[in-house]
Chains A and B, each alone.
Chain A
Amino acid sequence: MRLRHLKGWLYLLPALLFLGCFMIYPLVDVLIYSLEEGYNSASQTYFGVGLYNFSYVLHDPYFLQAVKNTLLLVVITVPLSTGLALLISVQLSSIPKLRDLYQTVFFLPYVTNTLAVGLVFMILFKKTPYSDGMINALIHLFGGETVDFMDGPYWAKMLVTCLYTVWIVMPFKILILTSALASVNPDYYKVARVDATPRWRIFTKITLPMISPMIFYLIITGFIGAFKAYSDEVALFGVNLNAAGMNTIVGYVYDMLYGDSGGYPSYASAAALILFAIVLTITVINLLVSRKHVYYA
């Protein structure tokens, strides 16, 4: 019996080793860093153990700005991108002819590099000595007042960031949702039609429950993804996000580790743990809400 136990553990060893090295050890390490006060990465010494790092991070205006930016981004882009993706998928499913073409077009952002997309957004929005950007040109054409989207007011920068995020996360959602819609048995729709079910009722009472697991999956991963936003902001505003006032929580962590103000692994760890706590809370809330509304076949 004992030998068999031993054998079992032996089989598990590679996976356990891998998980231990790359998951558990870093997690524990982050926890330790976050509790070591005044840690110096050069001399590898610290003064004491306590919660000062958390207190520092929570009082750092840069961190608070990053939290605000991230939360705004999450609250705006997740519902917007999921809703839009659902709308587009439903419309796509109801046109038989050019569906493949449209699907390809909608999927393009997914296969395009973030930085290349950032460049396109620059052309659209950035003011340079030579041009005001395409959007400003359009605003000007219709008699509006031009805005500096990249270096101007906060709301303008936030708008561009949200647009960018929505645009870049939508293709994957459309892909998932169109396949979810296609997997609904057409007999349900036929029966509903024979029973004179109005279109909106078919959508809310049949289609939505049928694809609810996929919508839920997209919302959860959407929340997590938006909380981890960083590279999109870099693509738009460059590496000095604090100067642009557009930093995110992950950006703050990165800055603390490697940025100009870098070399503070303890602060970075504390910020990372705070992010973890936020994401965990949101996900648990999501799971609780989903129990009521998600139907699994």
Chain B
Amino acid sequence: MRIYLEHVTKSFPSQNRKEKRNVIAVNDFTYEIPDGTLTGLLGPSGCGKSTTLNLICGLETPTSGKIYFGDDDVTLLPPESRGVGIVFQNYALYPHLTVLENILFPLQNLKGPEKLSKAVMLDKAREAADLVQISRLLERRPKEMSGGQQQRVAIARALVKRPRVLLLDEPLSNLDARLRLQTREEIRRIQRETGITTVFVTHDQEEAMSISDQIVVMKEGIVQQIGKPQTVYDDPVNLFVAKFLGTPPVNVFSGEIRSGQLYLGQAPVLPFPGGRDGPVWVGIRPEGFVPSPDGPLVCSTRAVEVMGRDTSVVCTHPAAEAQIRAIISSEHDVSGDTVRFQLKPAKVHVFDRQSENRIYPA
């Protein structure tokens, strides 16, 4: 099911009584989520991503704008009429019911012509349990299971009615690191197997990048950039997106463009034709540094962390905002006090000093 949000805005009355101004959680959001894809809503906390999810779900109604599922306008439909399934961060499994009873719960709500016989309900519940691989745990209660298993039960419960859209609110944040890796693959697999259009919310860019077909990066209610994870990573539209994506994070320098050259400190590091002269922000990905005896960027080495395949060099440079972290191939020798780098042009992004928007070379 294709989801289309058209100029969706959601504002809440301010909690602060002295301040009459409304808080705008989502500001003029227009975006189409293609059918059968996995989309990650990504941003720091308070950026409006959960509100967006609630708007798609129907738990909130937009202040203005419209939401379509396929060609149906669902803007004013309550959640139960939208055909959505939702999994909350804490899973919200009914603790007094067994796993099977939890999964059966949505089916037992069906009335009238949709009403199912007990046998059909059981079949459907078993099928959903098989899909998330918890068939052996059906008689357990939620508290007798691990976080990852509870997560699966919650997904099974959300899927048992075959919703048109599956929504996941911070699906991995309550899991430990190892389980997180495993579960995100699991979400990907379940989404592929069912083909249900899925939207999930996360503040963890790695999570979003690793499994999404596309990511939506948000900040303070405004969409910053939408695209395939790799595209957004390689081609960020502004400094915020560049900083937000990638681990280790992008290294930010204060640089300058002078007569077609990009300067970091006093060193011209790259040709930058067509740019207006003046100060800029420069973001360089950790993998954009290549040690080279005559490289233009001279940094003082602070630490070298060997990680096997790669080496991580922590160093400083006067023009850098913070410590620089460069990830280089472990063949290079970086034992000296200083290290000289050449830069890969594709990994260097230049941003306007004021607006922080990307500046492209001509």
Residues of A within 8 A of B (CB): 185, 187-188, 190-198, 201, 205-206, 209-210, 295, 297
Instruction: Say whether B80 contacts A195, CB under 8 Å.
Output: yes
Kindly list chain A residues whose C-beta atoms are within 8 Å of the C-beta of B81: 196
**What 0/1 readout, one digit per residue, does chain B (43-87) give for beta carbons within 8 Å of chain A?**
000000000000001110000000000000000001111001110
7 cross-chain CB contacts under 8 A: A190-B86, A195-B161, A196-B80, A196-B110, A201-B109, A206-B94, A210-B96
Given contacts A190-B59, A190-B86, A191-B86, contact A196 B92 (CB under 8 A): no
A294 to chain B, nearest CB (A): 10
Residues of B within 8 A of A (CB): 57-59, 78-81, 84-86, 88, 90, 92, 94-96, 105-106, 108-111, 143, 157, 161
A188 to chain B, nearest CB (A): 5
Residue in B57, B58, B95, B109 whose beta carbon sits within 8 Å of that of A197 in the complex: B109
Kindly list chain B residues whose C-beta atoms are within 8 Å of the C-beta of A198: 109, 111
Instruction: Say whether A188 contacts B80, CB under 8 Å.
Output: no
Given contacts A187-B90, A210-B96, A295-B96, contact A194 B57 (CB under 8 A): yes
Kindly list chain A residues whose C-beta atoms are within 8 Å of the C-beta of B88: 187, 190-191
Instruction: Say whether B96 contacts A194, CB under 8 Å.
Output: no
A217 to chain B, nearest CB (A): 17
Given contacts A193-B59, A193-B79, A194-B85, contact A187 B109 (CB under 8 A): no
Instruction: Say whether B105 contacts A197, CB under 8 Å.
Output: yes
Q: Which 6 A-B pairs have the closest CB atoms?
A: A196-B80, A195-B106, A187-B92, A295-B96, A209-B96, A194-B79
Bound Cα distance A173, B143 (Å): 29
Kindly list chain A residues whose C-beta atoms are within 8 Å of the C-beta of B109: 195-198, 201
Kindly list chain A residues whose C-beta atoms are within 8 Å of the C-beta of B80: 193-197
Instruction: Say whether B105 contacts A195, CB under 8 Å.
Output: yes
Kindly list chain B residues whose C-beta atoms are within 8 Å of the C-beta of A197: 80, 105-106, 109
Bound Cα distance A141, B95 (Å): 54
Bound Cα distance A194, B94 (Å): 14
Kindly list chain A residues whose C-beta atoms are within 8 Å of the C-beta of B79: 193-194
Instruction: Say whether A194 contacts B59, CB under 8 Å.
Output: yes
Known: A190-B88, A194-B58, A195-B106. 13 other contacts (CB 8 A): A190-B92, A191-B88, A192-B105, A193-B80, A194-B57, A194-B79, A195-B105, A195-B161, A196-B81, A197-B80, A209-B96, A295-B96, A297-B95
Kindly list chain A residues whose C-beta atoms are within 8 Å of the C-beta of B58: 194
B97 to chain A, nearest CB (A): 8
For B88, the closest partner residue in chain A by CB is A187
Instruction: Say whether B95 contacts A295, CB under 8 Å.
Output: yes
Kindly list chain B residues whose C-beta atoms are within 8 Å of the C-beta of A210: 96
Which of A185, A191, A198 has the most chain B CB atoms closer than 10 A to its own CB? A191
For B111, the closest partner residue in chain A by CB is A198
Bound Cα distance A205, B109 (Å): 11
For A190, the closest partner residue in chain B by CB is B59
Instruction: Say whether B92 contacts A185, CB under 8 Å.
Output: yes
Kindly list chain B residues whose C-beta atoms are within 8 Å of the C-beta of A209: 94, 96
Kindly list chain B residues whose C-beta atoms are within 8 Å of the C-beta of A190: 59, 86, 88, 92
Bound Cα distance A88, B58 (Å): 29
B175 to chain A, nearest CB (A): 17
